[in-house]
């Protein structure tokens, strides 16, 4: 059992920054792949970024690669998403997800992840 709690969402103007946190409890994340997904109103949930906790390997969707940075703090069992130069199209509910038996080739697939947080809202205004 892994519980994930996201925080750090909010409302910002275009060009602003936010830092999201995903705190895990129940299991140590070492050996996991952690990811952020997002879902905008009227759209399906999409992959944003992932990090392999064992070696810091990362994967980003192209639309955020130059602006978002995922990081980890293994001691705190926490992952972060630093978002800069935010755009209105970044507006979405952001979910943290955990895969305890990672397959890097499937890192983009929602079904790869066994645990999900409740989401934190990010709203970017023009």
Half-sphere exposure (Cβ direction) of 108: Cα atoms closer than 13 Å:
6
Distance separating alpha carbons of residues 112 and 25, to the nearest angstrom? 19
Longest CA span, the chain: 40
Query: If you compute the radius of gyration of the chain from its CA atoms, what whole number of angstroms results?
Result: 13
Q: State the pairing for strand pair 18-25/3-7.
A: antiparallel
* Per-residue pLDDT tens digits of the chain, which is 126 residues long: 899 999 999 999 999 999 999 999 999 999 999 999 999 999 999 999 999 999 999 999 999 999 999 999 989 999 999 999 999 999 999 999 999 998 999 999 999 999 999 999 999 999
């Amino acid at each position: 059992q892994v519980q994930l709690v996201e925080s750090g969402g909010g409302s910002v103007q275009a060009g602003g920054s936010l830092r999201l946190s995903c705190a895990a409890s129940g299991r140590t994340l070492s050996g996991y792949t952690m990811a952020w997904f997002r879902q905008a109103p009227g759209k399906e949930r999409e992959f944003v970024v992932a990090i392999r906790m064992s070696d810091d390997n990362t994967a980003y969707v192209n639309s955020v690669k130059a602006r978002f940075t995922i990081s980890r703090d293994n001691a705190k069992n926490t992952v972060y998403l630093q978002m800069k130069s935010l755009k209105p199209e970044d507006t979405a509910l952001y979910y943290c997800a955990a895969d305890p038996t990672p397959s890097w080739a499937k890192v983009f697939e929602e079904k790869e992840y066994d645990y999900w947080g409740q989401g934190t809202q990010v709203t970017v205004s023009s």
